[in-house]
Amino acid sequence: MTDIGSGWFEHLDPASGRKYYANAATQETRWDYPLASETVDTSDWDERLDPQSGRVYYYNAKTQETSWMPPPGYKGEATELEKAASTDPTKWQSRVDDATKRTYYYNTVTKETTWIKPPCLCDEQASNGTAPYEGFEMRKFAEENFQLFRKGLFKSKTDVDKVLRWKNEMIKTALLNLKDGDLNAEAVQMFRNVTGFMGDRGSGKARIDHCTKLLSNMLQSPEELRNELYCQIVKQTTENPSIESTKRGWQLLAVCLATFPPSPSLAPHVGWYVAQHVVDLPAHAAFCLRALQKIQNLGTRRELPTTVEVESTLRFENALIRIFFLDGKFVSVAVNSWTTAADCVRLVCDLLDVKTRDPFALFEVSADDEERVLDADERVLDLVAYWHRLSTEKQQQAPTQLHATTTTTTTTTTGSTFHFQFKVRYFLNVPDNDTAGVEMMYVQAKHDVVDARYPCSDQDAITLAALQLQEEFGDAPTDDCQYLKGNLGKYLNDNTVNSKTEADLEHHLLKLYAKLAGYSQDDARLSYLDYVKSWKIYGSTYFLVEPKQNRHFPPRVVLAVGSKGIIVVDPDTKDFLQEYPYTQLVTWGHSPSSFVLVTGDTIKQVKVFFKTEQGREINIMVKAYVDALNPPN
């Protein structure tokens, strides 16, 4: 059928093979081509918009006749509106021709049909991420992978489209051609949970319980059973007569995409299915398209999502977590199932307006102050789920023991004693005009000095404490200063506090503090940082290692990995035993149980081995510092 204009369509008579012409408005048919002059008087016709359907219709003011089709020869306002509709992607639908099984496109306003995809749909797909899935129709996957011989006692072949449509009954066998009988039985039971969650069948369980059961099973299931779940969700959301059930199916799809990916062979077909609904379910489809791309990159998660995470995903919303700083302050950050540690660093930097991001990282910190830097692609809510599991197991082992409430998120209590911390990982240079970045470097330096992380003389400690007072309070008061009363430990490390009387320390500190009058807060921070940067070991990360094949070192030494090089430190005397500037490194490497340095030049080289299980982390830090010293052109 071809639209030739003016309400006329060209058809092919199957008996004679001749072309004939039919007018959809007047119901007239004829063998000869309708002439353009054969038009009616259209002066009394005008175009109107139906408010319920949004469709254009035509009204004759003289005869009060209405028509969805323009009267033959009509040349009125419809032309402009139809032009607008022809370039509006929301007015086009993709359909499958029953005879050829080919996809064609239909405009709901102009009634135009075409085999060729309208350009506006191509532009829309490029902008919303649906383009990569073009051509991966779900029925193609079904034709190749579904059990189609499933009809009746003798298992006759069933139509693919029927298998892919919503069903108000339980399936008796898996959709996919699963060879394992046990997996087939699990697939049938899985369908009960899917329909129970969607409300397609009555259930005594809460919806969230069906969802949790599915996710728990899938994390322990092989890939083919996970694919089965995706196919079941697609089936039950296709031509489902209930809008509520359909939306619940999309919620379940979102939660699955938060937990495990479809296989590489199925993923583009799931993407194609989601892309078909960017118009009728824009929020659901857009969310799931983003989720599909992310879960394919990140892979299956390690932990079962917490109830709070699942409920947030079901609402297509973010959850909130708290990220702490070394001074005890925190920010609340909105995250979802796919948010990584690198994403969190970016979010925090954006919140604080930190322009220099490379020095900072996200850490996991326990109640005992044991810390671990998170890998860039580590999912933060997967870690929260791990903390939750540890807490639950602990409560089950000691049910009468009281447990502290976590501050990990603002939306749940997990009983966890862990928290996220944003701080410096690499002590790289931060430009003075990056005010927020300088502040974060200052917070780190202040914490490390007061915590005695680096060797520090009493005089250095007092000088830095004076700068800290100036940064915090501004110029010293002219009368009696009470800032230090009972607070010396906030400004001085324990060794310095115990070295002199409190009165003596206050006297020396306040005297030096008074000399800093006129320093702005930024001046005080920058002066503090300049002071500590003069220490050779400042900014070093410590690793306890065992030297191998080296008689000059004790059995155990500390590798202090800093921004300029590596220092070997005696853990007892704190003496520097050896220094390896990065400028003298030829190469370096690691294994699961060692770290090796190669120093020298092209003529003579020396290898130094250290036994350690932290070789990977040392290797990462050295590479970061060497790259910073030798930036790419």
- Tokens representing 561 are 């990995």
CB-side neighbour CA atoms (13 Å) of 185: 3
Q: What distance in Å separates the CA atoms of residue 419 and residue 422, rounded to the nearest whole number?
A: 10
**pLDDT, greater one: 321 or 49:** 321
pLDDT of residue 576: 95
pLDDT score of 54 more than 90:
no
Closest CA to 630 of 578, 563, 580: 563
Sign of CA dihedral 401, 404, 406, 412: positive
Q: Which CATH superfamily is domain 138-300 in?
A: MyTH4 domain (1.25.40.530)
75 — pLDDT class (breaks 50, 70, 90)? low
Question: 585-591 and 149-151 as β-strands: parallel, antiparallel, unpaired?
Answer: unpaired
pLDDT of residue 586: 92
Give the other-Cβ count within 10 Å of 601's Cβ: 8
Q: Which helix (H) or strand (E) holds 630?
A: none
541-629 CATH fold? PH-domain like (2.30.29)
CA distances for 121 relative to 32, 97, 113, 129, angstroms? 36, 19, 14, 12
435-533 CATH fold? Acyl-CoA Binding Protein (1.20.80)
Q: Give the percent of the chain with pLDDT over 90.
A: 65
pLDDT of residue 255: 98
404 — pLDDT class (breaks 50, 70, 90)? very low
Would residue 54 be called left, alpha or beta, if left means φ above 0 and alpha means ψ between -120 and 50 degrees? left
Q: Which helix (H) or strand (E) holds 557?
A: strand 557-561
Judged by DSSP in three states, 312 sits in helix
pLDDT of residue 82: 62
pLDDT score of 613 more than 60:
yes
152 — pLDDT class (breaks 50, 70, 90)? low
pLDDT of residue 412: 40
Picking from 89-93, 560-564, 568-572, which range would have the lowest pLDDT averaged per residue?
89-93
Domains 319-424 and 541-629 share a fold: no
**pLDDT, greater one: 620 or 42:** 620
pLDDT score of 390 more than 70:
yes
Q: Model confidence over 251-308: pLDDT tens digits?
A: 999 999 999 999 999 999 999 999 999 888 889 999 999 999 999 999 999 999 999 9
pLDDT score of 109 more than 70:
yes
319-424 CATH fold? Ubiquitin-like (UB roll) (3.10.20)
Q: Model confidence over 154-186: pLDDT tens digits?
A: 667 888 889 999 999 999 999 999 988 899 999
410 — pLDDT class (breaks 50, 70, 90)? very low
445 — pLDDT class (breaks 50, 70, 90)? very high
Instruction: Give domain limits for the chain.
Output: 138-300, 319-424, 435-533, 541-629
